[in-house]
């Protein structure tokens, strides 16, 4: 049996920040990671480029975190985007600010972020044991005394759980932490996939597979009521819809699907033009090209891949000449350009979800310290807490900030 000030469970970004901070404050810390390698998920973030964090203010961060961003005010005030950037810079990572306030390593390699964090914790003599799966928390009279991993017991005065969520389970985050927490009396808000692609009815999305649209607006309708919208980029896939704006809207959609509501996404392909301006544009193009076949004019308005799909949806003869297009047909074209409708039948599974919504109830965690309100000496950090955010580097910042605060509090409360 070994004896540690702190044991951290999980060597993702939250766990590494927690362990590093404990060691900075002089603590003797052990990190238990069940995979053979640390930070497996971190390596695939941002399509392998890692969107490290965002340059938004604390207030903006808070509004972009669900369901209770205010829970993070203290964590953000103690360790925020400038702090992680400073730390990474110190360990040799150059960072570039991109569109949307997103920070990436200049090398475009997520591996550089992991390496820098590992270099930091190694310098501080943090001990990491990979291949150790924590299977039980040891609690006596509401006080944590250690953990059990691979059948062995390890004693510690404090334990920080940073086991991640349930998405992309092949990276190691398969929901273990929820079960460990339940065993010691914590409640877990229903976990569901978030930032996840959506499946659609009918074959339209499938026919458009691979097509990427920029500057479009997607509106979510639930039981025929408008519930949310987003503007930007999306992509069609072999099962339905994906891409940044769809992933962002998915948080709302998943909940509505679980509530068995009718969900539709209506895509406005011409959001910059109101009905009148779009009509003027169609009229002008039709008049100027009166003798041309309509199939040769549609590409003025749409990506080529969409043209045959539009003719089918409109039941319009592509061989018609432009001067033969009636005002009713023009109205139908205009309507479809602004209302391409998809019935959402399902969401993809945790295997394809960037983040997990739900998790350990924030009401049972102190926002000042990240300590459990139920078990003395137990702390939480990262994605396993019932907090999730939109894309843009917000989710990783939640992991660093809560990890750092948990590590800091462990030592300050000692
Ligand atoms: C494809 C993809 C792309 C993403 N891109 C971005 C991005 O660019 N920017 C961004 O901000 N966010 C991104 N995210 C989200 C981000 O990766 C997570 O929010 C973040 O990794 C959460 O950190 P964490 O430390 O809480 O959990 P994790 O990174 O999941 O780490 C948890 C660790 O705990 C270990 N573990 C679990 N159970 C046990 C156990 N019982 N015993 C021991 N160890 C255990 C796991 O093996 C894992 O290593 C992305 C996610 C995915 C899936």
Kindly state the average pLDDT of the residues 143-150. 98
User: Does position 284 have pLDDT exceeding 70, yes or no?
Assistant: yes
- For ligand 1, say whether the CB of 51 is within 6 Å of any of its atoms: yes
Q: Which atom of ligand 1 is nearest to the CA of 168?
A: 53
Compute the distance between CA of residue 204 and CA of residue 267 in angstroms, rounded to an integer: 13
DSSP-based three-state secondary structure for 59:
helix
**Angle, vertex CA 8, rays to CA 14 and CA 362, nearest 5:** 60
CA of 195 from ligand 1 middle (Å) equals 14
Kindly state the average pLDDT of the residues 219-224. 98
User: Do residues 103 and 46 make contact, with C-beta atoms less than 8 angstroms apart?
Assistant: no
pLDDT category at 12 given cuts 50, 70, 90 is very high
The pLDDT value recorded for residue 412 is: 87
Q: Which atom of ligand 1 is nearest to the CA of 394?
A: 11
CA of 185 from ligand 1 middle (Å) equals 24
Mean pLDDT of the chain, nearest integer: 97
Kindly state the average pLDDT of the residues 283-305. 96
CA of 172 from ligand 1 middle (Å) equals 8
CA of 384 from ligand 1 middle (Å) equals 9
- For ligand 1, say whether the CB of 383 is within 6 Å of any of its atoms: yes
Query: How do residues 182-196 score in pLDDT, each as one tens digit?
Result: 999 999 999 999 999
The pLDDT value recorded for residue 414 is: 63
- For ligand 1, say whether the CB of 338 is within 6 Å of any of its atoms: no
Q: Which atom of ligand 1 is nearest to the CA of 13?
A: 25
Query: 9, 10, 146: which to mutate for ligand 1, most atoms within 8 A of CB?
Result: 10
Compute the distance between CA of residue 349 and CA of residue 178 in angstroms, rounded to an integer: 18
Compute the distance between CA of residue 137 and CA of residue 186 in angstroms, rounded to an integer: 12
Nearest CA to ligand 1 atom 13: 45
- For ligand 1, say whether the CB of 34 is within 6 Å of any of its atoms: yes
Nearest CA to ligand 1 atom 6: 45
Q: Are strands 225-236 and 212-222 parallel, antiparallel or unpaired?
A: antiparallel
Query: 76, 164, 358: which to mutate for ligand 1, most atoms within 8 A of CB?
Result: 164
User: Does position 74 have pLDDT exceeding 70, yes or no?
Assistant: yes
Compute the distance between CA of residue 381 and CA of residue 11 in angstroms, rounded to an integer: 11
The pLDDT value recorded for residue 240 is: 98
Kindly state the average pLDDT of the residues 47-70. 97
User: Does position 1 have pLDDT exceeding 70, yes or no?
Assistant: no
Query: How do residues 373-405 score in pLDDT, each as one tens digit?
Result: 999 999 999 999 999 999 999 999 999 999 999
The pLDDT value recorded for residue 2 is: 59
Kindly state the average pLDDT of the residues 249-275. 97
- For ligand 1, say whether the CB of 133 is within 6 Å of any of its atoms: yes
Q: Which atom of ligand 1 is nearest to the CA of 383?
A: 26
The pLDDT value recorded for residue 413 is: 72
DSSP assignment letter at 385: B
Compute the distance between CA of residue 296 and CA of residue 292 in angstroms, rounded to an integer: 7
- For ligand 1, say whether the CB of 31 is within 6 Å of any of its atoms: no
Show the tokens assigned to 113.
């972020």
- For ligand 1, say whether the CB of 29 is within 6 Å of any of its atoms: no
User: Does position 32 have pLDDT exceeding 80, yes or no?
Assistant: yes
The region, left, alpha or beta by phi > 0 then psi within -120 to 50, assigned to residue 146 is left
CA of 12 from ligand 1 middle (Å) equals 6
User: Does position 227 have pLDDT exceeding 80, yes or no?
Assistant: yes
- Kindly list the distances between the CA atom of residue 242 and the CA atoms of 126, 182, 363, in Å, as whole numbers in the listed order: 40, 33, 33
The pLDDT value recorded for residue 247 is: 96
- Residue 79: phi, psi to the nearest 5? -150, 110
Show the tokens assigned to 333.
């074209």
- Residue 56: phi, psi to the nearest 5? -65, 160
pLDDT category at 3 given cuts 50, 70, 90 is confident
- For ligand 1, say whether the CB of 65 is within 6 Å of any of its atoms: no
User: Does position 99 have pLDDT exceeding 60, yes or no?
Assistant: yes
Q: Are strands 188-194 and 29-33 parallel, antiparallel or unpaired?
A: unpaired
User: Do residues 35 and 172 make contact, with C-beta atoms less than 8 angstroms apart?
Assistant: yes
pLDDT category at 208 given cuts 50, 70, 90 is very high
Q: Which atom of ligand 1 is nearest to the CA of 167?
A: 53
Return the percentage of the chain with pLDDT > 70, whole number.
Answer: 99
Q: Are strands 95-98 and 102-105 parallel, antiparallel or unpaired?
A: antiparallel
- Residue 288: phi, psi to the nearest 5? -70, -20
Query: 95, 163, 379: which to mutate for ligand 1, most atoms within 8 A of CB?
Result: 163
Compute the distance between CA of residue 264 and CA of residue 319 in angstroms, rounded to an integer: 32
- For ligand 1, say whether the CB of 230 is within 6 Å of any of its atoms: no
């Amino acid at each position: 049996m070994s004896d540690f000030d702190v044991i951290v469970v999980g060597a993702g970004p939250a766990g590494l920040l927690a362990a590093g901070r404990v060691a900075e404050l002089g603590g003797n810390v052990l990190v238990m990671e069940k995979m053979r390698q640390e930070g497996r998920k971190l390596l695939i973030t941002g399509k392998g480029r890692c969107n490290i964090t965002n340059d938004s203010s604390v207030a903006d961060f808070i509004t972009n975190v669900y369901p209770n961003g205010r829970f993070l005010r203290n964590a953000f005030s103690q360790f925020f985007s400038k702090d992680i950037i400073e730390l990474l810079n110190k360990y040799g990572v150059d960072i570039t600010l991109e569109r949307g306030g997103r920070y990436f390593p200049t090398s475009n390699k997520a591996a550089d972020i992991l390496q820098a964090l590992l270099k930091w914790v190694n310098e501080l003599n943090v001990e990491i044991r990979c291949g150790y799966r924590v299977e039980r928390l040891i609690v006596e009279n509401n006080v944590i005394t250690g953990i059990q991993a691979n059948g062995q017991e390890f004693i510690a005065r404090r334990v920080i759980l940073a086991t991640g969520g349930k998405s992309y389970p092949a990276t190691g985050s398969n929901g273990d932490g929820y079960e460990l927490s339940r065993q010691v009396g914590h409640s877990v808000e229903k976990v569901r996939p978030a930032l996840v692609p959506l499946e659609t009815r009918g074959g339209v999305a499938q026919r458009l597979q691979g097509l990427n649209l920029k500057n479009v607006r997607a509106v979510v309708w639930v039981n025929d009521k408008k519930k949310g919208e987003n503007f930007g980029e999306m992509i069609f896939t072999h099962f339905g819809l994906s891409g940044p704006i769809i992933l962002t809207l998915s948080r709302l959609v998943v909940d509505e699907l679980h509530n068995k509501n009718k969900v539709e996404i209506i895509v406005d392909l011409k959001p910059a033009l109101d009905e009148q301006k779009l009509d003027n544009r169609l009229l002008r193009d039709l008049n100027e090209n009166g003798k041309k076949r309509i199939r040769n004019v549609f590409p003025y308005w749409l990506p080529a891949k969409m043209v045959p799909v539009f003719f089918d949806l409109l039941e319009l003869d592509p061989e018609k000449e432009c001067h033969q297009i009636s005002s009713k047909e023009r109205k139908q074209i205009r309507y479809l350009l602004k209302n391409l409708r998809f019935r959402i039948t399902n969401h993809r599974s945790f295997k394809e979800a960037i983040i997990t919504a739900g998790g350990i109830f924030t009401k049972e965690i102190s926002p000042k310290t990240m300590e459990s309100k139920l078990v003395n000496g137990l702390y939480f950090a990262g994605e396993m807490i019932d907090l999730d955010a939109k894309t843009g580097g917000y989710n990783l910042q939640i992991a660093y900030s809560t990890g750092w605060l948990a590590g800091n509090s462990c030592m300050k409360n000692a």
